[in-house]
Amino acid sequence: MAASEGSVGAVFAALLRLMRTYPGLLALSIATGVASAALALAPHLAVAYAVVELLGPVPDWRNILAAGLAAAAAVVLRHALFGVSTASSHIVAFSCLYDLRIAIAERLARVPLGFFDGRSKGQIRSTLLTDIDSLEDGIAHLVPETSAAVVTPVVAFAIMLLIDWRLGILALLPTVLGIALMGRLMAQSETATRRHFALMARLNEAATEMADGLTTVRAFNQDGQAVRRAKSVFRDEVRLSDEWIRAAVVPGTTAQVILSSHLLFVGPAGLLMVAGGLIPFSTLAAFLFVAAGMNDLFAAIQGIAHRVGRQAQILERIEALRRAELLAEPSPGKAISDSSVTFDRVSFSYGTRCVIDDVSFSVAPGKSVALVGPSGSGKSTIAKLVARFHDAASGTVSIGGTRVQDCASDRLHAHIGIVFQDVFLFGGTIAENIRLGRIDATDEEVRAAAKAARADVFIDRLPQGFRTHVGERGYGLSGGERQRISIARAILKNAPILILDEATSFADAENEALVQEAVAEAARGKTLIVIAHRLYTITHVDEIVVLDRGRIAERGSHEALLGLGGLYARMWRAQEKTRHLAHGPREAAQ
């Protein structure tokens, strides 16, 4: 579907490939659109015929009346065909947009998360919503309308050549020259069009960022700065528009004059030919009426050129998502024998930045390991490698003795439950959000999972209980409440491996005990990998792996690591000091 060159042919080829799933409706739309455009010349032909009859020796009024009635019927038929063309092209368009969104969504669900590292959510959202919506113009209008716009002048020129080939060639010359100038102008505008859409992407990103971070912006009194960023993009767009207008005004005006001047060439030449006895006046009159049927060819070409450039940029951005590289799927995938997790000399980088460097550890079935260390030491990346959100650059990540790359994604993810630090809730009911863990779960099972996650109490207090709708990302619920819903998902899924990524990070002092109880319930009998900053929450695990700058610095039990007096011991002392400082004022107040 690539149309990166922005040429007219490349854009139309890409649009036609999108529509090939609906060949019957596409053919109907183009055929009826072309026929409708051809019939637009009927009134001009009728007038031309009437002029010839009236200037003849004995006008045949019956023939003139028949020509008029035929022209009237052609006008009615033209509009009927145009309606059929428009209706069928819109059916194709909306069907294609639906197919395209589904295809891209399915593809994005199977790409490595590294694909999103260099792309903002605003850009992806803009492509999925705005850009695909904008394809409606290309599919529903541009293809059939361009077919019609090409047919009308071609038919008109053919008729003019039949009337008088000399006048036909004379009318054709300025049209060819004007179209050549327009083509050159289109080629020059490609860079400006790319800059325009890049600016629109920046503006969309700034608007999305401002909306998502409105609370932070207002809290720090930085709404003026956010507005200034948007104004900066607007100023850049104005400068680009000014530059483009200055560069295009002369060639654009020249092309417009030439494309609209065929009658200026034909009129005087035709009168000279009549005066010289080369053609009768009736022939010239008929020719001029047919030539007038070409209307404003410049307006049609200019409108199509602008829309083709816009569609080229849209198709290029959509293509980047449609061609996103997928995680390789094994065929057939291997089975997973148990819930053990093994890292064998694993390394991984984000671009040129090494995040995991030669890491090796294992977790036996039903055992637990905690990953701790300073921010940026690679803890969350290890969790993502277990779930194969990324593939390791080197080394092996295995589950039950099977490399994660050798296991089909659906089978792999069936073995893993994850509670993320940043809990995402969809814009639906609480029951629907919990049921994400197992879509076929009954209401009783959903309630049991919520109870095990210590979430049923606050859910029952909500206006509609489990049928309460929560906004996007769970707005209206506290951080601890969202985390307990996420834990309920994991309990409902009941996967043999559980990954907890800072599962208590948003819990306040009052709710932390409830979240800890929920975590303990979710982890019962599971192979557990815990990522934690609050070290007192993981003192009970079987082994603690201490990471520093992507490498394993220490490992062992809580007591053993304290005895070493290394990084873990320093982190523990710092956190204990902070906890005592935090508890002191509370105890004094009591």
Please give the mean pLDDT across all residues of the chain.
80
Residue 138 has pLDDT above 50, yes or no: yes
Count of C-beta atoms within a 10 Å radius of residue 110 = 12
| pLDDT higher than 50, residue 4 | no
Could you tell me what percentage of the chain is helix, strand and coil, using 3-state DSSP and rounding each to the nearest 5? 65, 10, 25
Per-residue pLDDT tens for 20-63? Answer: 889 899 889 888 988 888 888 888 888 887 878 787 778 888 88
- Nearest-CA neighbor of 519 among 545, 499, 543? 499
Alpha carbon distance 55, 282 (integer Å): 6
First to last CA, the chain: 69
| pLDDT(6) > 60 | no
For 297-317, what is the mean pLDDT? Answer: 73
Residue 581 pLDDT > 70, yes or no? no
Q: Is the pLDDT of residue 3 over 60?
A: no
Rg (CA), the chain: 35
- Contacting residues for 51 by C-beta, under 8 A, at least 6 apart: 282, 285, 286, 289
Q: How far is CA 421 from CA 198, 487, 501, in A?
A: 33, 11, 5
Give 348-403 pLDDT, tens digit per residue: 988 788 899 999 999 999 999 999 988 888 888 898 899 888 888 899 999 998 99
pLDDT of residue 207: 66
pLDDT of 590 reads: 45
* Amino acid sitting at position 204: N
Whole-number pLDDT of residue 546: 94
Q: Specify the pLDDT at position 118.
A: 60
- What is the per-residue pLDDT across 179-224, written as a single tens digit (0 to 9) for each? 777 667 666 666 666 676 677 666 666 666 666 666 665 555 555 6
Nearest to 369 by CA among 360, 377, 233: 360
Mean pLDDT of the region 424-447? 89
Give the mean pLDDT of 509-526. 73
Q: Is the pLDDT of residue 586 over 50?
A: no
Residue 243 neighbours by CB under 8 Å, 6+ apart: 192
> What does residue 118 show for φ and ψ, rounded to 5 degrees?
-95, 10
- At residue 5 the predicted structure's pLDDT band, cuts being 50, 70 and 90, is very low
Highest mean pLDDT among 77-81, 104-108, 132-136, 266-270: 77-81
What DSSP letter does each residue of 418-460 carry, written as one string? EE-SS----SSBHHHHHGGG-TT--HHHHHHHHHHTT-HHHHH
Please spell the DSSP secondary structure of 155-212, one letter per residue.
HHHHHHHHH-HHHHHHHHHHHHHHHHHHHHHHHHHHHHHHHHHHHHHHHHHHHHHHHH
Q: Within a 10 A sphere around the Cβ of 115, how many other Cβ atoms?
A: 18
Q: Does residue 353 come out as left (phi exceeding 0), alpha (psi in the -120 to 50 range) or beta?
A: beta
What domains can be seen in the chain, in order of their start residue?
8-322 (1.20.1560.10), 339-407+531-590 (3.40.50.300)
Q: Is the peptide bond before 332 cis (omega within 30 degrees of 0)?
A: yes
Q: Whole-prediction pTM value?
A: 0.65
Distance CA 555, CA 370 (A): 10
Residue type present at position 170: L
Closest CA to 381 of 555, 520, 547: 547
* Tens-place pLDDT, residues 451-493: 888 888 888 888 888 998 886 555 578 778 888 888 899 889 9
pLDDT of residue 212: 62
Report the relative pairing of strands 543-548 and 551-556 from DSSP bridges.
antiparallel
Q: Which of 217-231, 243-257, 569-583 has the highest mean predicted lDDT (pLDDT)?
A: 569-583
Which of the two residues, 519 and 503, has the higher pLDDT score?
Answer: 519
- Helix 443-452 and helix 509-523: axis angle, to 10°? 120
Q: How far apart are alpha carbons 290 and 270 in whole angstroms?
A: 14
Span 403-421, mean pLDDT?
Answer: 87
How many Å apart are CA 22 and CA 19, to the nearest integer? 6
pLDDT at 189: 64
Do the strands 368-372 and 543-548 form a parallel or antiparallel pair, or are they unpaired?
Answer: parallel
User: What's the maximum distance between 2 C-alpha atoms anywhere in the chain?
Assistant: 121
pLDDT higher than 60, residue 584: no
237's tokens: 């767009």
The tokens for 530 are 């815990």
pLDDT of residue 469: 86
Length reported for the chain: 590
